[in-house]
């Protein structure tokens, strides 16, 4: 089971299928599939839209902690013998119990299944993390092969205050169907997440290479040679070609930060950053962008809604004048503002940006 962004499950499923996963089944925020051991290394290294890859031990239904205990107790935990473990839970929906209680219940079921050589609970530094996902009455319990979520790519040295999740950025680039030969633009790039992810995608650079650690390295079946093989294959398939990727922001500070981030991700040489105002048609002079992917400000606070409406209106007017025919993919939580404008959408999808409900629009300008 892979966890992913709510609303991008189909894109994550396609990514898994393209890399060799079979019998794909989509759930909310999750994708279920089958595959061989190599796939654990391959997906952790190469996937751009996944958060955690879980080796599923059991799935079932439960409406109380007692039922969760019974479900967890039915698993054979021999692989935890003499190991340190932690249980972590993601809970979605309304329950009479919280995620800590679920983790504690599953932890107890694990300990109760041993009479001797019980594993030790270590929440700080476990050898193995048991991950449980509880949505309404659905319960999934498995082994976390990833560790920390894959959306934390580890190349960010400058933290933009409203940075987009890398996995959402990749989903949006995929939705745009960017043809790598054509010009790509993020006109409100902030810390550069979208253009950096676009460059990594076009160069086929596996995002996993930026990670310091993978949880699968501590699992008993870990095969260092198989993993190295997968890593070498992934690197061999990458390239250092140049692509026409442009990125603007009105803020000098953010552009400087985005440049630092792109250098840290090793893709600065293929992104053209500049300080520009995306609402002015002169900003687009000489840039024949066919694919525009962006994450404009949302203006969450009520007082800012009028400013956001003006920004969105002026931005679309500038684009209509300068880049008509281009494909735009935009994420916003201020969808009521966007929907007031006279724009034809090809596709709209509901997503979660962290805890914030947002929408991704695909638009032909
Ligand atoms: C939500 S943030 C983008 C965050 C970015 N996707 C990231 O991951 O770091 C929106 C950005 O739009 C920029 N912005 C606002 N008005 C702009 C304008 N008129 N032209 C260009 N950029 C603008 C802001 O400076 C801000 O950095």
Q: What is the number of the ligand 1 atom nearest to the C-alpha of 251?
A: 25
- Ligand 1 center–CA 28 separation, angstroms: 30
- 133 lies in the same domain as 176: no
- 135 lies in the same domain as 176: no
Q: Are 128 and 83 a contacting pair, CB within 8 Å?
A: yes
CA distance 32 to 56: 9
- 117 lies in the same domain as 198: no
Inside any domain, residue 24: yes
User: What's the number of domains the chain is made of?
Assistant: 2
- Ligand 1 center–CA 159 separation, angstroms: 13
Using the 8-state DSSP alphabet, how is residue 158 labeled?
A: S
Sequence-distant (6+) residues with CB within 8 A of 95 are 134
Report the CATH number at residue 112: 3.30.2130.30
* Structural domain of 272: 166-204+239-364
Residues 294-321 as b/e (b if ≥16 CB within 10 A, e otherwise) read: bbbbbbeeeeeeeebbebbbebbebbee
Inside any domain, residue 154: no
pLDDT of residue 253: 98
| Angle, alpha carbons 135-355-32 (nearest 5°) | 40
- Ligand 1 center–CA 361 separation, angstroms: 17
pLDDT of residue 304: 80
- 186 lies in the same domain as 317: yes
**Beta-sheet strand order (sheet of 50-61):** 22-27, 30-34, 2-4, 50-61, 138-144, 128-135, 84-92, 120-121
pLDDT of residue 344: 85
Which position has the token pair 């079946």? 221
pLDDT of residue 300: 67
pLDDT of residue 342: 82
Q: What is the number of the ligand 1 atom nearest to the C-alpha of 187?
A: 21
pLDDT of residue 324: 85
pLDDT of residue 355: 85
From 250, 293, 294, 358, mutation site for ligand 1 pocket: most ligand atoms within 8 A of C-beta: 250
CA 238 from chain center: how many Å? 20
- 123 lies in the same domain as 193: no
Q: Where are the alpha helices (DSSP H) in the chain?
A: 9-18, 37-46, 65-73, 99-112, 166-176, 193-202, 224-236, 252-264, 305-322, 335-340
Question: Longest Cα pair distance anywhere in the chain, in angstroms?
Answer: 74
- 274 lies in the same domain as 170: yes
pLDDT of residue 301: 59
CA distance 328 to 147: 34
pLDDT of residue 150: 97
- 118 lies in the same domain as 178: no
- Ligand 1 center–CA 64 separation, angstroms: 45
- 119 lies in the same domain as 189: no
Inside any domain, residue 311: yes
Which position has the token pair 């293929």? 270
- Ligand 1 center–CA 296 separation, angstroms: 5
- Ligand 1 center–CA 189 separation, angstroms: 5
- 315 lies in the same domain as 255: yes
- 140 lies in the same domain as 170: no
Q: What's the chain's length in residues? A: 365
CA distance 258 to 203: 18
- Ligand 1 center–CA 268 separation, angstroms: 19
Long-range contacts (CB closer than 8 Å, 24 or more residues apart) made by 71-78: 71/139, 71/141, 72/105, 72/106, 72/109, 72/110, 72/132, 72/141, 73/109, 73/112, 73/113, 75/113, 75/141, 76/113, 77/110, 77/113, 77/114, 77/119
Q: Is 295 in the pocket of ligand 1 (CB under 6 A)?
A: yes
| 3-state SS record for 213-264 | CCHHHHCCCCCHHHHHHHHHHHHHCCCCCCCCEEEEECCHHHHHHHHHHHHH
Report the CATH number at residue 271: 3.40.50.150
- 14 lies in the same domain as 101: yes
- 58 lies in the same domain as 185: no
How big is the chain by its Cα radius of gyration, in Å? 22
Q: Which residues pair with 349 in a beta bridge?
A: 360
Which position has the token pair 């995306």? 278
From 188, 198, 315, mutation site for ligand 1 pocket: most ligand atoms within 8 A of C-beta: 188
Inside any domain, residue 228: no
Q: What is the number of the ligand 1 atom nearest to the C-alpha of 311?
A: 19
Q: What is the number of the ligand 1 atom nearest to the C-alpha of 298?
A: 1
Q: Is 250 in the pocket of ligand 1 (CB under 6 A)?
A: yes
Inside any domain, residue 212: no
Residue 242: Cβ within 10 Å count: 12
pLDDT along the chain (365 residues), means of 10: 97 98 96 96 98 98 98 96 95 96 98 93 95 97 97 96 97 98 98 98 97 94 96 97 98 98 98 98 95 91 78 94 92 90 91 92 93
Q: What is the number of the ligand 1 atom nearest to the C-alpha of 193?
A: 8
Inside any domain, residue 161: no
Distances (CA, A) of 186 to 16, 43, 150, 273, 287: 27, 27, 23, 10, 12
Inside any domain, residue 173: yes
> Considering only CA atoms, which residue is closest to atom 14 of ligand 1?
188
Inside any domain, residue 27: yes
């Amino acid at each position: 089971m892979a966890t992913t962004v709510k609303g991008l499950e189909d894109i994550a499923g396609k990514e898994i299928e393209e890399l060799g996963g079979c019998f794909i089944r989509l759930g909310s925020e999750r994708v279920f599939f089958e595959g061989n051991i190599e796939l654990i290394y391959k997906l952790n290294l190469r996937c751009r839209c996944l958060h955690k890859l879980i080796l599923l031990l059991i799935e079932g239904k439960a409406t109380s902690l007692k039922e969760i205990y019974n479900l967890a107790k039915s698993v054979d935990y021999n692989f935890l013998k003499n190991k340190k473990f932690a249980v972590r839970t993601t809970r979605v929906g309304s329950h009479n119990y919280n995620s800590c209680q679920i983790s504690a219940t599953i932890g107890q079921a694990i300990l109760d299944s041993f009479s001797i050589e019980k594993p030790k609970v270590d929440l700080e530094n476990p050898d193995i993390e048991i991950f449980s996902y509880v949505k309404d009455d659905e319960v999934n319990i498995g082994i976390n092969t990833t560790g920390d979520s894959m959306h934390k790519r580890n190349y960010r040295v400058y933290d933009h205050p409203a940075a987009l999740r890398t996995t959402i950025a990749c989903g949006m680039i995929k939705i745009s169907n960017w043809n790598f030969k054509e010009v790509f633009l993020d006109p409100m790039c902030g810390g550069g997440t979208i253009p950096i992810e676009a460059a990594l995608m076009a160069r086929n650079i596996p995002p996993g290479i930026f990670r310091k650690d993978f949880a699968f390295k501590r699992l008993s079946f870990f095969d260092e040679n198989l993993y190295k093989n997968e890593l070498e294959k992934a690197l061999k398939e990458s390239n250092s070609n140049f692509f026409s990727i442009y990125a603007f922001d009105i803020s000098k500070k953010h552009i400087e930060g985005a440049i630092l981030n792109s250098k840290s991700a090793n893709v600065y040489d293929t992104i053209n950053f500049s300080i520009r105002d995306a609402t002015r048609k002169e900003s687009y002079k000489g840039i024949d962008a066919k694919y525009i992917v962006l994450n404009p400000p949302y203006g969450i606070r009520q007082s800012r809604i009028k400013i956001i409406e003006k920004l969105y209106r002026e931005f679309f007017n500038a684009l209509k004048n300068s880049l008509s025919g281009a494909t735009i993919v935009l994420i916003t939580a201020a969808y009521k503002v966007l929907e007031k404008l006279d724009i034809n959408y090809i596709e709209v999808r509901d997503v979660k940006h962290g805890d914030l409900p947002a929408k991704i629009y695909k638009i032909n300008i």
